[in-house]
Structure 1
Amino acid sequence: MKTAMLPALADPRPETPIQARLATRPIIDASFLRDPYSAYRALREAGPIHWSDEFFGGAWLLTRHEDVEAVLRDPLYSARRTGGWVMRGTEDSRLMFCPFQRLFSRAMLFLDAPDHTRLRQVLNAGFRPAALRGFSGAIEQMAASLMDALDETEEFDFMGRIARPLPAMVIARLLGMDSGSQPDLFDWSEDLGAFIGSPDPDLGLKRRAQTSLLKMSAAFEAILERRQTERASLPQNEEKDLIGRLLDAASAGTIEAGAELLAQCAMLLFAGHETTKNLLGNGLHLLLSHPEQWKRLQQTPELLPSALREFLRYESPVQYTGRRVTTDVVLHGQLLRRGDLVVPLIGAANRDPERYSNPDVLDIGRREGSHLSFGQGPHVCIGAALTQMEADIVFRALLTRWPVLERLDSEPAWNCNPVYRGHSRLRVRRRR
């Protein structure tokens, strides 16, 4: 990746044919939502960097593995990007969405060091391998209960019966709350996912996302108040759930009570089930669409860890993210101004032929290193190990309990979210 820091210069962006096309022809259309990889391939082959007006009012798109990985690692590219996203529009609309921005912008996902480092240190303990190993039995029980309920059912929607509810149950337990007592939290989370997944959210989408985030915040405020009252009676050495850790940090002054504390609760709930849900659905769909790989996994179940990595690479649950340039730089001959938005296309980087041999071929035994689906650098997904643990448990159970599965829908029912790629429905039939 060729990046050079520069003094202030005139903007040299040329109107090359590819950039002119990108400014006028949408990238994200119906065909993209069905299969983004053809568009990624065309962009990657046309050049390493492109300007598009379609993403958040204008952004630089990166498609190559080397560039995407470097931007995700480099502090020159800031995660603070919500202002131009939430607040873009007229003065009236900016005033309307101030409550949204106040909460949304405080989530760890959208912060840089030192704030990001401070918050991550609080939460890291809850996601360490030792803590998660002690939680695996509970996840196995949850997965078994969902599958037990389907023992007399030959046809069902895998998304609705397993892929959605299991991650919701898991993150609720990890937070220290009862998922059944707050079902609306996950509906509100869906509204946030729709907002984050839109490259240019309209007024209605912003309003729904703001309403849902504020309702989620109010629900967590009540949970935190109740938990704060209960803390006095708990043994000092009791293992803390995530809400307990956050409350301890707030008491110690490491996390600010109010918006910052509530933003982390909402972020954990949302991020804790969105990626896992789509990994489960995408992974099963890939196996059922590639029966030779499904059979291979059944014959050699020890390939499951590499199969999960390949699902994440081949059909990333997170297709792209965003960063803001903190100072003028030149990248591949283009001037990126301070404040410009850069969109690293993770789904494209995961199919880069310079990084992977036959990248459009699903190979559950692939041995070419990892993927970028969990990010890289300081913002690498804090829950990556938990997501992989849940997927490992589910797919091991599928291999033993339901070895003969078939897909019922002739065409995939994609969720039409360009960021969080997954299935809205995945109907399957199991044979005894």
Structure 2
Amino acid sequence: MKALLQPPLVDAAFLADPYPTYRALRDAGPLHWSEEFFGGAWLLTRHADVEAVLRDTRFSAQRTGGWINDVEVQRGEFAPFQRLFSRALLFLDAPEHTRVRGLMQAAFRPDALATLRPRIERIADTLLDAIDPGVPFDFMASVARVLPVRVISMLLLGTPQAAGAPLMHWSDDLAAFIGAPQPTRALAQRAQASLLAMTRYFTRQLDCPRADRVGTEPPALLDELRQARARGALKDDAELLSQCAMLLFAGHETTRNLLGNGLLALLTHPEQWQALQSDPERVPGAVRELLRYDSPVQYSGRRVTTTLTLHGRQLKRGDLVLPLIGAANRDPARHPHPDRLDILRPDPGALSFGSGTHACLGAALTRMEADIVLRRLLQRWPHLRLAQAPRQLRRCANPAYRGLTALPLHTR
């Protein structure tokens, strides 16, 4: 018999700081059943279990049907959404996952990213140059929300000059749907409208190749995917367009929240900020620790493919399992003093980008963007500080994608 968690986990206090709740869950046991998520899900709390499930093929990433089925809908209302959403790399299992990932892997190799780095640095400099250092500014609006969209646009289209504001809005609607414990019909309708708008945007890009994409180094990923479609490596246009949409969504949500969460953590731990000031070469390790300390992605989802027993509980085929990444990253069995931010931690070992075959394709790109932004902030504004007390900052009402709505800062 399933032991039901009571009271509800997701409330204002949880959204503000989920880590005390995670600690209580870990202490109470490794596996819990909650009806608060998608009509019922198993919650995994410990690092070893979370990593194991993310790597275990008995737990499937093909789970979008459950989301749509849990929403009260008219027959066929979300068929276009399901047709595109279910084709994205994020929700594929092998062998389809292996095939599609292989077509995009080259764009994220170290040599390709090294070529992109100077262009990302120019984007960051342009955004920071536009900030008046004499007045407070909102880091989320000025940098964290804008930079990832321009970088993904550059990767996909060869140019950062994309339809920035609409792309951000479309991404927000998808995040609100995916991150809702109980998606409503209204959330699903907005997510479908935004996903279809995204695909129309990328269809126009495919139909009208831009001159400024010719000769880009590395080649624009959209053109690489177009060639894969032409030779049959991608099955149809829907499969191509769904990869573009998911790359934009995943790159935007993860990077902006890493930038916001990470900078807030550093500024509320001034000794860590000063340690970076004294040695900026510590920034790559700091980024890994910031990912562990306050992960942009708090949980993932898998469906059980066959009846099995885990920690004495029977999990049935089709059951939803949520590996709580945020809880795993603060598991004291894996990380000594897990609630302490320590940029010199020898092995942060964060699961923020997943693990195994489904580890985030763009993890290195996201870390690079954070590295670039932090180095420039340290150099430009060593006395950067919060313009608002941490307790007054508002968090996004999204338990899956942890982030800030705004981060007001003083440069001196």
TM-score when normalising by structure 2: 0.96
Match of 2:47 in 1: 65
Distance 1:140-1:400 versus aligned 2 partners, 3 A rule: same
Output the CA distance in 1 between the equivalents of 2:372 and 2:347.
24
Report how far residue 369 of structure 1 moved.
4.3
Report how far residue 179 of structure 1 moved.
4.8
Distance 1:301-1:152 versus aligned 2 partners, 3 A rule: closer
The percent of aligned pairs where both chains have the same amino acid is 56
Report how far residue 396 of structure 1 moved.
0.6
Which of residues 390, 410, 421 is equivalent to 2:402? 421
Which of residues 354, 371, 374 is equivalent to 1:395? 374
Please, which runs of 5 or more residues in structure 2 have no aligned partner? none
For residues 194-249 of structure 1, the C-alpha deviation after alignment (integer angstroms, 9 at most, x for no partner) is 1111111111111111111111111111111112x979x957x9742110111011
Answering whether residue 144 of structure 2 is matched by residue 140 of structure 1, we say: no
Match of 2:361 in 1: 382
**For residue 290 of structure 1, what is the amino acid of its counterpart?**
H
Output the CA distance in 1 between the equivalents of 2:35 and 2:66.
14
8 Å contact 1:88–1:94 — kept in the other structure? no
SS at 1:318 equivalent: coil
For residues 11-66 of structure 1, the C-alpha deviation after alignment (integer angstroms, 9 at most, x for no partner) is xx35xxxx23x1x5211011100010111111111111000001111010000000
Please, which runs of 5 or more residues in structure 1 have no aligned partner? 1-12
Output the CA distance in 2 between the equivalents of 1:214 and 1:135.
29
Match of 1:38 in 2: 20
Which of residues 185, 196, 203 is equivalent to 1:214? 196
SS at 2:303 equivalent: strand
SS at 2:74 equivalent: helix
**For residue 314 of structure 2, what is the amino acid of its counterpart?**
L
8 Å contact 2:153–2:162 — kept in the other structure? no
Report how far residue 257 of structure 1 moved.
2.2
Which of residues 175, 182, 188 is equivalent to 2:170? 188
SS at 1:93 equivalent: coil
For residues 312-356 of structure 1, the C-alpha deviation after alignment (integer angstroms, 9 at most, x for no partner) is 000000000100111011000000001111000000000001011
Report how far residue 99 of structure 1 moved.
1.3
Q: How does 1:109-128 map to 2 (within 5 A)?
A: 109-128=90-109
8 Å contact 1:87–1:98 — kept in the other structure? no
Determine which structure has more spread, i.e. the larger CA radius of gyration. Answer: 1
Match of 1:308 in 2: 287
Pick which of 367-376 and 384-393 moved more: 367-376
8 Å contact 1:320–1:343 — kept in the other structure? yes
Output the CA distance in 2 between the equivalents of 1:187 and 1:202.
18
Answering whether residue 184 of structure 2 is matched by residue 202 of structure 1, we say: yes
Number of equivalent positions: 409
Distance 1:152-1:64 versus aligned 2 partners, 3 A rule: closer
Output the CA distance in 1 between the equivalents of 2:243 and 2:147.
21
Output the CA distance in 1 between the equivalents of 2:110 and 2:21.
38
SS at 1:324 equivalent: strand
Match of 2:246 in 1: 267
Answering whether residue 85 of structure 2 is matched by residue 104 of structure 1, we say: yes
Report how far residue 178 of structure 1 moved.
4.7
Output the CA distance in 1 between the equivalents of 2:324 and 2:384.
33
8 Å contact 2:173–2:194 — kept in the other structure? yes
8 Å contact 1:87–1:93 — kept in the other structure? no
**For residue 63 of structure 1, what is the amino acid of its counterpart?**
T
SS at 2:309 equivalent: strand
Which of residues 221, 236, 244 is equivalent to 1:257? 236
Which of residues 18, 25, 29 is equivalent to 1:47? 29
Output the CA distance in 1 between the equivalents of 2:188 and 2:324.
23
SS at 1:425 equivalent: coil
8 Å contact 1:80–1:111 — kept in the other structure? yes
Output the CA distance in 2 between the equivalents of 1:387 and 1:272.
7
Output the CA distance in 1 between the equivalents of 2:193 and 2:382.
43
Output the CA distance in 1 between the equivalents of 2:341 and 2:276.
12
8 Å contact 1:87–1:97 — kept in the other structure? no
8 Å contact 2:158–2:220 — kept in the other structure? no
Match of 1:95 in 2: 76
CA RMSD of aligned residues (A): 1.7
Match of 1:325 in 2: 304
Pick which of 93-102 and 365-374 moved more: 93-102
Output the CA distance in 2 between the equivalents of 1:94 and 1:133.
48
**For residue 310 of structure 1, what is the amino acid of its counterpart?**
E
Distance 1:239-1:291 versus aligned 2 partners, 3 A rule: closer
Output the CA distance in 2 between the equivalents of 1:181 and 1:164.
14
Q: How does 1:142-161 map to 2 (within 5 A)?
A: 142-161=123-142
SS at 1:414 equivalent: coil
Output the CA distance in 2 between the equivalents of 1:399 and 1:89.
46
For residues 252-296 of structure 1, the C-alpha deviation after alignment (integer angstroms, 9 at most, x for no partner) is 101022211110110111112211111111111011111111111
8 Å contact 2:71–2:185 — kept in the other structure? no
Output the CA distance in 1 between the equivalents of 2:297 and 2:214.
38
Match of 1:6 in 2: none
Output the CA distance in 2 between the equivalents of 1:146 and 1:185.
18
Match of 1:3 in 2: none
Q: How does 1:357-376 map to 2 (within 5 A)?
A: 357-376=336-355
Report how far residue 94 of structure 1 moved.
4.7
For residues 358-399 of structure 1, the C-alpha deviation after alignment (integer angstroms, 9 at most, x for no partner) is 000111110134110000000000000100111111101111
Which of residues 8, 11, 25 is equivalent to 1:26? 8
